[in-house]
Amino acid sequence: MSVFTKIIKGELPCFKIFEDELTFAFLALDQVTLGHTLVIPKREINHWFDVPEFDYIQMQKNSQKIGRAVQKATGSPRVVTAVIGFEVPHCHLHLIPAWSIGDLNFGKAKRHPEGEMIRIQNEIVKALTTS
């Protein structure tokens, strides 16, 4: 069972942003920029191209809505996406608020204090529910 499956099942804590029957979204533990969110299919599938089409389409549709909320909450001009897949063997789409191309540098990822994570989580969820 992947760490993401444990998060979905509630066995590990997370800063949840969104959930429906097929997808789950939460803040990345290591934030490239504050607001960095992961969107995953609930099915534990390693490679993005192996995700069943219906699940993948739902993941992408939700990523657009969540990306708009991340942009609104952070004030970033862009929210960039990346599917890397080396860290956890469970497909995940990174949504990263960006002010420049340099903001897509995973080497800059860092942990933020819990209070800061809760604040940005609340801002994103609020933006998601009001859009």
38 backbone dihedrals φ, ψ, rounded to 5°: -105, 135
Q: Are 46 and 85 in contact (CB under 8 A)?
A: yes
Active site residue: 36, 90, 92, 94, which one?
Answer: 92
Taking residues 110-131, report their average pLDDT: 96
Active site residue 112: no
Predicted confidence band at 60 (pLDDT cuts at 50, 70, 90)? very high
Has residue 85 got a pLDDT over 90?
A: no
Buried b (16+ CB within 10 A) or exposed e, 44-75: ebeeeeebeeebbebbeebbeebbebbbbbbe
pLDDT of residue 111: 97
Q: Does domain 3-130 have CATH number 3.30.70.580?
A: no
Residue from 23, 24, 94, 93 nearest 15 by CA: 24
What is the separation of C-alpha 64 from the centre of its chain, rounded to a whole number of angstroms? 11
